Amino acid sequence: MAKRILLIENEKNLARFVSLELQKEGFLVDLVESAQAGLDLASENDYDLLLLNYDLKDWTAAEFAERLGVIKPASVIIVMASREEIESSAERIQRFAVSYMVKPFIINDLIEKVSTIFRGRDFIDQHCSQMKVPTSYRNLRIDVKNHIVYRGEEVIVLTRREYDLLATLMGSKTVLSREQLLDRVWKYETSMETNVVDVYIRYIRSKIDVAGQPSYIKTVRGVGYAMQD
C-alpha cells in the first residue's frame, strides 16, 4: 500500500515541486500551506509521515507538533528548516521530529531520507506486532497498533522516536546496550552517536516517570537499559 504523506509548506514553489517529486516516487501527498489546515487534515486522516516547514505562517513546527501530539501521538515528522533555524533550535526539533532537512536541499536527498525512515518504521512496527513478550510493565502499557502509551488510564504523549525506543525496551526480555538500541531504533541512520540513546532515555523518563517512585526504565551500569524484570 502506498505511503501517505502530509506536506505543510507555505513556500508555494517549493511545496509544489516537493509534492510532485514525492508523487513520482509513488507516495500519496496532501498539500496545505498553514499549520492549522495541516492539523485539521491530520486529525481526520491517518498519515504515515508529516513533512513540514519549521516556520509556518501561523505556528512554528514545534507548536504544531505539540497540538498534534494530543490528537495523534507518535506521529512521524520531518522538519524542513534553514541552517540557521537548525543551529538555533536543534535540540527542540529533536524533541518532536524523527529527522530534518536543511534548506536548500537536493530533492533526491529528501526522497532517500523519507524512504529510509519508512524502512525503519516498518521494521519497528513489524517487530512490535510480533512481540511474544508482554507490552506492559507495572502500570505502563503500549497499544502497538495505534502507537499509544498509557500509564494507568492516562495517555502519555510521546514523539514517534520516543515511542519506538520505549516499545523496543518493553519488547525485550534482556538488557539492551546503547549500540543495540541505536541499531534497532535508528536502524537506517548509521551516523548517529550512541549518546543520543541517553538523551532520548532522559526525554522518555521526563514523561513517564512519577516523582518519588522508581523509574520505569532501569539503567544497568556498564551495560545499557532494560524494563522487564
Per-residue pLDDT at 184: 84
Q: Quickly name the fold that domain 131-226 has.
A: Arc Repressor Mutant, subunit A (1.10.10)
Quick: pLDDT tens for 140-174: 988 887 888 999 999 998 988 899 899 889 888 88
* pLDDT reading at 186 higher than 90: no
Per-residue pLDDT at 146: 80
* 110 compared with 193, residue with greater pLDDT: 110
| β pairing state of 4-8 and 99-103 | unpaired
Per-residue pLDDT at 145: 78
- For residues 2-22, average pLDDT: 95
Binned at pLDDT 50, 70 and 90, residue 9 comes out as very high
- The DSSP string of 134-146 is -SEETTEEEETTT
Question: For the purposes of burial, counting CB atoms within 10 Å of the CB of 25, is it exposed (0-12), middle (13-18) or buried (19 or more)?
Answer: middle
CATH of 4-121, one of 3.40.50.2300, 3.40.640.10, 3.30.470.20, 3.40.50.2020: 3.40.50.2300
* 29 compared with 124, residue with greater pLDDT: 29
Per-residue pLDDT at 121: 64
Quick: pLDDT tens for 99-126: 899 999 999 999 998 988 887 665 555 5
* pLDDT reading at 129 higher than 80: no
Per-residue pLDDT at 124: 58
For the chain, how long is the longest CA-to-CA vector?
54
Residue spans in the chain of domains classed CATH 1.10.10.10: 131-226
Helices 160-170/178-185 angle, 10° precision: 120
Mean residue pLDDT of the chain comes to 87
